[in-house]
Structure 1
Amino acid sequence: MDKSMIKGIAVGGLAMVVLGASGVTGYRALTQPKFADVVAVKEINETVVTPRERCETVAVQRTAPVKDQNRIAGTVVGGLAGGLLGSAVGNGTGKTVATLAGAAAGGYAGNQVQKNMQQKDVVTTSEQRCKTVNEKSQKLVGYNVTYRLDGKDGTVRTSFKPGATLPVKDGEVVTTPPAPAAKS
């Protein structure tokens, strides 16, 4: 055998090994599943708390402002009425004492009557009162997807709701969202 023939056999053998290996790899790639069957899909929700200000208008009652702080009007009117009543009692010096006593008692009574009236005199106004309330809502954050690949079940989390199958690449389930369909 000459050298060129040995070289040819060696190169041919090497080419056969390379071609055989690529054939096995190609066969594996052809026989691997392209999709995994989706068995179950469960939504994953998260509770979101959002603070919000709630305001309402309420009626508020307050004591009306007093114009006569010392209740002079009630004292004077009560004193005059008491003096008139006292003067109707008795004669002479007794009449004078009765008039003075009636004026004093009437003045005190008039003062107290005006005090009670001022305390019951109220003004109603409207005020806006606000408070912060927390509103709760549910936000969809993803899906737990149970799939079957080569007779085995597995679970992955996706950000999209899958269809009946998930794509498989290199024996692994692809969890990236599919590209949006092109518009025609």
Structure 2
Amino acid sequence: MLLNKKFLFAVVVGALVGFSATVSAGGSGYYGDRGEYDFARVTDAIPVYNDIQVLEPRTQCWEEQVAYPGRGSAAGTLIGGLIGAAVGNKAGHHRRGRNARTLAGAAIGATIGHGISSRNNARYVTEQRCQTVDEYVTRRELVGYDVRYRYNGREYLTRTDRHPGDRIRVRVDVAPAW
């Protein structure tokens, strides 16, 4: 019987110690690693941005006047050839080679006369010209928010990825102070 009384006494003492530990830790039991949660009042939420450089190719266009050569006239070629032949015929004092000089002068004169008449007949057209150019553009990217909040009379600061609103959820841990 004495053994049963000792055993009963040990069970009662153990139950009382367990019960008192539960009561002293709070209504929901010991906090442990999971902690408890509460809400704190947000006093400020400042957006945080990161500026990034982005390469954007863009098309740049302008108006330009372009000359297209016209067709040379037969009259310009003929007149140039006649003038060239006359100059070639008169060039030099010797009769020898006069025909070659005349022919060469006529050919050169015809070419010059054709070129002059082609430039005079040129037509001008306004055309749009375009090219691709690389342009760096600065873009602002929202990184998150620097949030100030107040809990139990103390102020804290954290960074969140979105705006918390008027209050923020906080984890409350209780640890023994030895």
- TM-score after normalising by structure 1: 0.59
Residue of 138, 149, 170 corresponding to 2:172: 170
Change (3 A) 1:163 1:79: closer
CA contact (8 A) 2:54 2:138 kept: yes
Change (3 A) 1:119 1:138: farther
The residue aligned with 2:61 is: 57
CA offsets, 1:97-155, max 9 Å, x none? xxxxxxx9xx69x7499289469865543222221223322222211101122322221
The residue aligned with 1:4 is: 4
Secondary structure of the residue that 2:164 maps to in structure 1? Answer: coil
CA offsets, 1:139-179, max 9 Å, x none? 2221110112232222111112112221222339xxxxxxx
Query: Which structure carries more helix by proportion?
Result: 1
The residue aligned with 1:46 is: 50
The residue aligned with 2:33 is: none
The Cα of 1:15 is off from its aligned counterpart by: 0.8
CA offsets, 1:39-78, max 9 Å, x none? 211001122433333224322334434655xx98546425
CA–CA distance in 1 between the matches of 2:17 and 2:77?
126
Count matched residues: 148
- TM-score after normalising by structure 2: 0.61
CA–CA distance in 2 between the matches of 1:77 and 1:123?
29
CA contact (8 A) 1:64 1:118 kept: no
Q: Structure 1 counterpart of 2:65, which letter?
A: Q
CA contact (8 A) 1:55 1:130 kept: yes
Q: Structure 1 counterpart of 2:166, which letter?
A: A
Change (3 A) 1:65 1:116: closer
Q: Structure 2 counterpart of 1:20, which letter?
A: S
Change (3 A) 1:12 1:135: same
Secondary structure of the residue that 1:162 maps to in structure 2? Answer: coil
Secondary structure of the residue that 1:34 maps to in structure 2? Answer: strand
Residue of 155, 158, 177 corresponding to 2:157: 155
Runs (5+) with no aligned partner, structure 2: 31-35, 85-105
CA contact (8 A) 1:52 1:132 kept: yes
CA RMSD of aligned residues (A): 4.1
Q: Structure 2 counterpart of 1:125, which letter?
A: E
Q: Structure 2 counterpart of 1:42, which letter?
A: I
CA–CA distance in 2 between the matches of 1:28 and 1:148?
24
